[in-house]
Amino acid sequence: MNQSTKSLLSRRNASDSPRAKGARGESDRFYVWTLRGFAALFSAILLEFVYSIVHQSWPAWTHEGLTLLTGTTWNPANSVYGGLPLILDTVISTLVALLFAVPVGLGTALVLNFVLPRRLQTITASMVELLAAIPSVVYGLWGLYVLVPWMSTTIQPWLGRLSGGAWPFSGDPLGAGIMLASTVLAVMILPTIVAISRDVIAALPKDLNEGALSLGASRSQVLRKVILPSAKSGILGAISLGAGRALGETVAVLMVIGGNAQMPRSLFSVGATLASTIATEYTEASPGNVAALGALAVILMVLTAAVNAFARRLVRRTGALSS
């Protein structure tokens, strides 16, 4: 993949021969240094981005230390900065969203590749991808005014009755809360999971499908026992990319999760994620609180960067991401 024959500079040896020197060589050098200069500038911005957030959070880390990660109470008004409820809400809402989105996403990716006639594939895939085009504030609005009433009057009472009020369906059916946030997140990350796993599956050698079919395997056997296992690492990458999006999603979650930073007790509890807390408290924070919110930003940054780096490594190996 890195063997770019397009790279003009890979022919550097040829053009750097004595004959190529002179005015033309000078100009090429200017071109090269312009490219390098802008790459350096952008790298500097990236470093400044990381530095400024870490720098702002520094007082919180030296003051509070690990409490920022393990403390169970987040109450900035009283200068209590325990980040654990926020971290848990972020991670739990993402995991539950994956629970909804992964089966639907994988099924959709398989249908797009193997069941639909070729003419319908592109148009259907674009429709699924349109889900990613709808702004998150619109999902938030929809969640707030359509899903909250539906959850609190229909779904959650039903789940409560069905489980006898047992965990994780215990508590009052408020509508807003972790469960609703997960539902909205599932819709929002679905296009990511579908698009990447569709590419990963499409990048598999055709022989796998044809070979298995010719051996007499049924359609479902081919898909379940040959295609899915072969695409496993790429699909895991697709799921992780979706998880990365869900961890950092802000406004849609903020509008439907209830905005109450407390340790989660069940799927029905209201909560607050790292991102939603930064969004609501940042601009009105006192200097001490700003450092703690900066620490939340650092935690979120590390979390999403790690998940994304992991995901890209997996997807890159399948050769699907370059397409």
Partner 1 sequence: MSDLLNTLPPDPIYDRREKIRAITAKTLRRRTRLSQLFVGAISTTLVIALVPLVLVLYTIVQRGGSDLTLAFVTKLPQVPTIGQQNAIGGIGNAIVGTLIVAAMAAAMAIPLSLILGLYLVEMNTRLARIFRGGVEILSGIPSILLGVFAYIFIVIPQHHFSAFAASVALALLMTPVITKAVETAIRGVPDAVTEAGLALGARRSVVARRVVLPAARPGIITGTLLALARAMGETAPLLLIIGATDSSTWDLNPFHSMSALPTLTYFYSNSSFPSQHRAAWGVALVLVVLVLILNVTSRLISARLSRRAQA
265 φ/ψ angles, rounded to the nearest 5 degrees: -105, -35
- Footprint (CB under 8 A) of partner 1, residues 202-231: 216, 218-221, 223-224
Q: How far apart are CA 165 and CA 269, in angstroms?
A: 13
Round to the nearest angstrom and report the end-to-end CA distance of the chain. Answer: 11
Q: Which of 17, 19, 38, 163 binds partner 1 (CB under 8 A)?
A: 38
In sequence order, the β-bridge partners of residue 271 are 258
Which part of the chain contacts partner 1 (CB under 8 A), choosing from 98-106, 163-171, 201-209, 229-237? 98-106
Give the residue with the Cβ less far from partner 1, 160 or 196.
196
Taking the least distance from each CB to partner 1, the nearer of 110 and 160 is: 110
Answer for which of 151, 200, 255, 314 binds partner 1 (CB under 8 A) is: 255
The only residue of 44, 138, 162, 166 in contact with partner 1, by rule CB under 8 A: 138
**Does position 17 bind partner 1 by CB under 8 A?**
no
Task: Tell whether residue 297 is a contact of partner 1 (CB under 8 A).
Answer: yes
Minimum distance, C-beta of residue 111 to partner 1, in the bound complex (Å): 5
Please give the torsion angle defined by the CA atoms of residues 247, 49, 320 and 102, in that order, rounded to the nearest 10 degrees: 0
Q: Which is nearer to partner 1, 171 or 202 (CB)?
A: 202
Residues 71, 73, 91, 142: which binds partner 1 (CB under 8 A)?
142
Q: Is residue 244 at the binding interface for partner 1, with CB under 8 A as the rule?
A: yes
Q: Does 121 bind partner 1 (CB under 8 A)?
A: no
Contact status, residue 86 vs residue 296, Cβ threshold 8 Å: yes
With CB under 8 A as the contact rule, the residue among 86, 190, 291, 295 that binds partner 1 is: 190
DSSP per-residue string spanning 265-312: -STTS-B--HHHHHHHHGGG--HHHHHHHHHHHHHHHHHHHHHHHHHH
Residue with tokens 């994620």: 273
Separation between Cα atoms, residue 173 and residue 155, nearest integer Å: 9
